Amino acid sequence: MLGMVLAGGRGERLFPLTRDRSKPSVSFGGKYRIIDFVLSNFINSGIYSIYVVVQYKSQSLIEHLRAAWRLGGRIKHQFITIAPPQMRRGEVWYRGTADAVYQNLHVIRNFDPELVVVFGADHIYRMDIAQMMDYHREREADVTVAAIPVPIESAHRFGVIKVNKEGRIIGFLEKPKAPPPMPGNPKFAYASMGNYLFNRDILMEALSHDAKRHSEHDFGRTIIPELFPEGRVFAYDFSQNEIPGLKKYEERGYWRDVGSIQAYYDAHMDLLGEHPRFDLNNLEWPILSDAVNAPAARLMGGEVVDSFIGEGSIIRGAKVKRSIIGRGVVLEAGAEVEESILFDFCEVGSGCRIKRSIIDRFNLIKPGEEIGYDPERDKQRFTVNNKGVVTIPRAPTRFFY
């Protein structure tokens, strides 16, 4: 098995969090990056040979992979290697998801796997990919596409898969006005997760053919729609995936595309509460990231309710409610932080009030400042979405990320 992780996304709808980094490199959950979720799924599923395909503003992501994802190097087929645009067939950047893999066909040929696992790096979820592989082999499939059931009324926002009763794909529609329902369940439709499992020869033949013509060079728009009429292309129902350690109260088949500020914010709120929809505390299927040489968080007076507090953070008499606080954050006396996300190494002065805000790394919030309480004033200084979530970009620092 060879893993290919597509991590080149610009993440334009996540601006300004993606002003200085690619989408997979954006922090999530106080101590992780978005890419950590797909890489953790690969490692927990027993896939140890992985190429990470990067492109836009990739230095932050490269530094994170170097620090957090070193597998040792002693065993030949255990590696996580970065694959920038190769330009082996002309001076062009990756022109789409399919072209990103096509430009790296030589590494697939050299590795000579039976199966190639092509996953995106932009989503928050847990998945045992070995179960998808079992499904692929049982059906003697050429290609298997991970699919998630979504309510029929919201399916128009996704690439929708039409299947027969055996699960074989008979239609692939990009954001259709009238999505086809799942067999036997008219209230739901199958949405593509952008995760694919290919037999090696099928993948190489399809990509080589696609490279010779003008197309979008995209798996969802060009490759899969041309394979399913003749090939054995199946949909794997992600909602049937079994994850060890999953709590009874968690949302089964939790998967979120955090491609917009609101989706990113909402996914963080899903981590909170006595019964979170997505519980990060799962030792049987851990989300892995870099180790931090910092002491435990210090609470020197104040109040913390239903929140994450990162390593090395100091709370000096502040109040924190339903918030995600990163590592090395300092909250001074009298500060109030509610329903907010603070990235690493921010400092919040005394008497500050912050609500429904996302504050990127290294920001210094002056004493007495208010953010998230006056929408008109906030719009003059920061980015504010249509639901009133305030986002402040990363502050300058001598560090790159």
Each residue's pLDDT tens digit, 302-352: 999 999 999 999 999 999 999 999 999 999 999 999 999 999 999 999 999
Please indicate, yes or no, whether residues 334 and 209 belong to a single structural domain of this protein: no
Q: Is residue 275 part of a domain?
A: no
Choosing from 214, 244, 262, the residue where a domain stops is 262
What pLDDT score does 214 carry? 73
Q: Count of CB atoms within 10 A of residue 47's CB?
A: 19
Please indicate, yes or no, whether residues 173 and 63 belong to a single structural domain of this protein: yes
Q: If residue 106 lies in a helix (H) or strand (E), which one and from where to where? A: helix 105-111
* CATH label of the domain that carries residue 388: 2.160.10.10
What pLDDT score does 85 carry? 74
Strands (E), 8-165: 27-28, 32-33, 49-53, 79-83, 115-120, 123-125, 143-151, 159-163
What pLDDT score does 218 carry? 77
Cα angle vertex 292, ends 290, 298, to 5°? Answer: 140
Q: Is residue 398 part of a domain?
A: no
Q: Is residue 273 part of a domain?
A: no
Please indicate, yes or no, whether residues 113 and 56 belong to a single structural domain of this protein: yes
How far apart CA 18 and CA 57 sit, in angstroms, is: 9
Please indicate, yes or no, whether residues 120 and 34 belong to a single structural domain of this protein: yes
Please indicate, yes or no, whether residues 252 and 330 belong to a single structural domain of this protein: no
Please indicate, yes or no, whether residues 342 and 211 belong to a single structural domain of this protein: no
How far apart CA 170 and CA 156 sit, in angstroms, is: 18
291-314: b or e for each residue (b if 16 or more CB lie within 10 Å)? eeeeeebebeebebeebbbbbbbb
Tokens matching residue 88: 């082996």
Please indicate, yes or no, whether residues 11 and 82 belong to a single structural domain of this protein: yes
Tokens matching residue 62: 């490269």
Residue stretches of the annotated binding site for alpha-D-glucose 1-phosphate? 94, 159, 174-175, 192
Q: Is residue 203 part of a domain?
A: yes
Q: Is residue 377 part of a domain?
A: yes
* CATH label of the domain that carries residue 7: 3.90.550.10
Please indicate, yes or no, whether residues 71 and 129 belong to a single structural domain of this protein: yes
* CA-to-CA separations, 21 to 40, 59, 291, 331, 396, in angstroms, rounded: 21, 7, 21, 26, 13
**Residues of the chain where predicted confidence (pLDDT) is lower than 50:** 398-401
Q: What pTM did the predictor assign? A: 0.94
Residue range of the domain that includes 182: 2-262
Q: Count of CB atoms within 10 A of residue 393's CB?
A: 18
Residue pair 199/231 in contact by the 8 Å Cβ criterion: no
Tokens matching residue 356: 């429904």
Please indicate, yes or no, whether residues 339 and 206 belong to a single structural domain of this protein: no
Q: How many domains is the chain partitioned into structurally?
A: 2
How far apart CA 186 and CA 353 sit, in angstroms, is: 47
Cα dihedral value 351, 354, 359, 365, nearest 10: -20
Residue pair 134/241 in contact by the 8 Å Cβ criterion: no
Each residue's pLDDT tens digit, 41-82: 999 999 999 999 998 888 999 999 998 998 766 777 899 999
Please indicate, yes or no, whether residues 76 and 223 belong to a single structural domain of this protein: yes
Residue stretches of the annotated binding site? 94, 159, 174-175, 192
Residue 141 — left, alpha, or beta (φ > 0 → left; ψ -120 to 50 → alpha)?
beta
What pLDDT score does 221 carry? 79
Q: Is residue 146 part of a domain?
A: yes
Q: Is residue 91 part of a domain?
A: yes
Contacts of residue 248, Cβ cutoff 8 Å, sequence gap at least 6: none
Please indicate, yes or no, whether residues 232 and 318 belong to a single structural domain of this protein: no
Residue pair 228/169 in contact by the 8 Å Cβ criterion: yes
Please indicate, yes or no, whether residues 216 and 348 belong to a single structural domain of this protein: no
Q: Is residue 276 part of a domain?
A: no
Choosing from 220, 241, 262, the residue where a domain stops is 262
